[in-house]
Chain A
């Protein structure tokens, strides 16, 4: 997923939640990011920073972001084999395509054992905000 899009999404979500909860200041959020999203942490943090500044409110100025990347694990639906993202040996272009639209992994990754494209992503995709802490 694109870092800026993710940062924008996180901020929009945090702001809405803080309104619901009546928070004046967000102190910490925890985000879990799937490895398949191919997010570059530095770019994401930079984007988050820029967008926070652009908000022009004190709501987010003290916000600490804790990020946890969940390793991707694929499982072949045909032979049951399990493997990880690094085992896929993708080219730079393929990685970039996956970065923009993670599900296109199905176009580029095959089961290392039986070559099937019919695999499931057991873990390590998507993004979620695990917790939001703040003061009311």
Chain B
């Protein structure tokens, strides 16, 4: 019997809603959206946590512009508060070192992070996941049983083809899907709406050619068009 499994439910018990940001393909804006969503929910007055579960390629700390912050040790690990959001990432322990993790290692690392992290009572825990239906996503479903999914895509045929499978799998497993977000929208194409009829389209985020320069600067990031679209979505969640 693995005692860590028992403690996970207890660790997550004080969290009202767990929102996993997911999607079929890489590079479609999951991490940026997860970060801006967490910051926005916090600015709207909610208590918010943000968890980076992209264990081989964590990137939320870059988006949040965090350096030299380390969690406090107190009967476990207390995630530090960054820009009003409790933030947990494996990067605290790996720094800039690559950590090549294979399937079983990812599950084990995630189990440890979930078992050891002591969130305070939160309204939302936003969880960033790596692309597709891989280890992290399957473990979110297995261990964070109340997680609701925000599914991201672009209008690219390649992204759509894969996101359909993600949606099918979540549906098959009875995992709640809050809705789909279409990111990097250019023009008024309806392809996403047409391709994904069975799930609500929660919002659209236009391609924002200024966003890249704002990465790492939270205040400017929150003033962007990107953030304005995310706020509309946040209000619907």
A102: contacting residue among B97, B100, B108, CB under 8 A: B108
B208 to chain A, nearest CB (A): 33
**A67 contacts the other chain (CB 8 A):** no
In the bound complex, residues from chain B placing their C-beta under 8 Å from that of A125 are 108
Pairwise interchain contact A103-B2, C-beta atoms closer than 8 A: no
- Dominant secondary structure at the A interface: helix
B80 to chain A, nearest CB (A): 14
Query: Interface residue count for B (Cβ, 8 Å)?
Result: 33
| Residue interface bits A1-36, CB-to-B below 8 A is 1, else 0 | 110111011101100110000000000000100000
Query: Interface residue count for A (Cβ, 8 Å)?
Result: 33
In the bound complex, residues from chain B placing their C-beta under 8 Å from that of A117 are 98-100
Known: A8-B7, A13-B3. A118 touches B100 (CB 8 A): yes
Across chains A and B, the number of contacting residue pairs, with CB separation under 8 Å, is 105
Q: Can you name the residue of chain B whose Cβ is closest to the Cβ of A37?
A: B112
In the bound complex, residues from chain A placing their C-beta under 8 Å from that of B97 are 107-108
| Residue interface bits B106-148, CB-to-A below 8 A is 1, else 0 | 1011001101100000000000000000000000000000000
B94: contacting residue among A6, A8, A97, CB under 8 A: A97
In addition to A9-B7, A128-B3, 14 A-B residue pairs with Cβ atoms within 8 Å of each other are A1-B4, A9-B4, A12-B7, A13-B7, A98-B93, A100-B93, A100-B116, A103-B106, A106-B99, A107-B94, A107-B98, A118-B100, A118-B102, A129-B2
Which B residues form the contact surface with A (CB < 8 A)?
Answer: 1-7, 10, 55, 73, 75-77, 90, 92-95, 97-102, 104-106, 108-109, 112-113, 115-116
Which A residues form the contact surface with B (CB < 8 A)?
Answer: 1-2, 4-6, 8-10, 12-13, 16-17, 31, 47, 97-98, 100-104, 106-108, 117-118, 120-121, 125-129
